[in-house]
Amino acid sequence: MKSRLLAVFLVFALALTLFPAAAQDMMDPCLGLSGADCEIVKAADAKLAEMTSFTLGFKFNLSLTGLESLSGLLGTTGEGAPQALTVTADAANSPLVINPTAADPMAAFAMAMDVNGSITGTGTDDQSGTSSFVIVDGVFYAKDPETGQWMGVPLSEFLDSAGMAGLPVDPAALMEGDMGAMGAAADPTALLAGSGLSPEDLAALMSVQGFTSQARLADAEMMGQKMYAFESKVDFVPLLSSPEFQKVLTNLATASDDPDMAQVGQIGMLLPMLLQEGNIKTTRWIGADDMWVHRLVLEANVVVDLNAMMSMGGGAAGGNVPKMEPVVLRLLLDVELSAHNATAAPTAPEGAQMMEMGS
């Protein structure tokens, strides 16, 4: 159970390492940059489309505190209820090779990784250890940490057992930075159609000062060459507090026949008080000599003040309701890439035995 749970987490961690590069398609690559800096970013994006292999290393840390306040609000408090959750993982020298011409998307990439990971704060099921896995020719191989025996299962079955079946993700296209590979959930057009927002609404929201920003940072010496550093940031606090956001919500409520939509305006007023902090920042370092992205750091910070919700609901009447601690999420993913287009493909572990999921 332990190795399987860590392996499932690893698949999500891998997806996180790929998402920041793909997410660049959702922002103007030249936002806030000079003409010269824009050319650097465009050149790096063009190189990304040429990438067929690289060696990966990453460090991941996720902390979630204030869960006791959330449990109290949901009425799920009790002995064993977690107050904080921490997830960590790291790996080094992990090869990944892409085959964009593969007929089977599950065979579009091969990789091998040894991950040290831990999950703490669950109360009863804290875990830590090393999970080793290989993906080759559409087969997921995992190493039993106790016996050392490698076991294999078709990758599609592994994803199915992990609750990820049916995700419309094309691994080959995703590795090339195509946001369309993420399916409708990451397709701006599909999101607009589902939310009722018009292109004019979206343009108004994207123009909110402080919502999106990009800047070039100081150059750095890294991995034997000079690196150009660029930081992109999305901050939801100024967006939720903006007149443009409130206007969009009002328009949605007015245009809808759903009587529940009348509450949208109230929710819109509540959101800026609930979300004390909410931003996602991506920093990437581009090699001056080869224009490859060599390091990428993703940070996410969220602070939710549940006291605002209690106040809006009249829960603070009489001043007898104790103040709740905020729910705080901190995420850091630090990825290093090397040996671009010079990484040998991993092979299936010798002596591996095929098995059925659930066995």
Alpha carbon dihedral 237, 242, 244, 248, in 10-degree steps, equals 60
User: In the chain, what are the helix, strand and coil shares in percent, each to the nearest 5?
Assistant: 35, 35, 30
Residue 358 lies in a domain: no
Residue 359 lies in a domain: no
What residues are paired with 214 via a beta bridge? 232
Residue 16 lies in a domain: yes
Q: What is the pLDDT of residue 255?
A: 73
Residue 356 lies in a domain: no
Q: How many domains does the chain have?
A: 1
Residue 230 lies in a domain: yes
**Alpha carbons 21 and 91: distance in angstroms, whole number:** 19
Query: CA angle, 58 as apex, 52 and 63 as ends, to 5°?
Result: 140
Q: What is the pLDDT of residue 321?
A: 58
Question: Tokens standing for 254?
Answer: 């007015």
Residue 353 lies in a domain: no
Question: Tokens standing for 225?
Answer: 């060459």
Residue 169 lies in a domain: yes
Q: What is the pLDDT of residue 199?
A: 79
Q: What is the CATH number of the domain that holds 222?
A: 2.50.20.20
In angstroms, the Cα distances linking 325 to 80, 172, 236, 267, 307 are 18, 43, 21, 21, 8
Alpha carbon dihedral 314, 316, 320, 326, in 10-degree steps, equals 140
Residue 168 lies in a domain: yes
Q: Residue 316: give the domain boundaries.
A: 2-347
- Tokens 């891998």 — which residue? 14
Q: What is the pLDDT of residue 114?
A: 93
Classify the C-alpha dihedral 268-273-274-279 as positive or negative: positive
Tens place of pLDDT per residue across the chain (359 aa): 444 444 445 555 455 445 444 445 556 788 899 999 999 999 999 998 899 999 999 999 999 998 876 665 555 555 555 678 899 999 999 999 988 788 888 888 899 999 998 988 876 778 888 889 999 999 999 999 889 999 999 988 877 765 544 444 444 444 444 444 444 444 444 444 455 677 788 788 888 999 889 999 999 999 999 999 999 999 999 998 999 988 888 877 777 777 766 677 677 778 888 899 999 999 999 999 999 999 999 999 999 988 876 665 555 444 555 678 888 999 999 999 999 999 999 999 999 999 876 65
Q: What is the pLDDT of residue 283?
A: 95
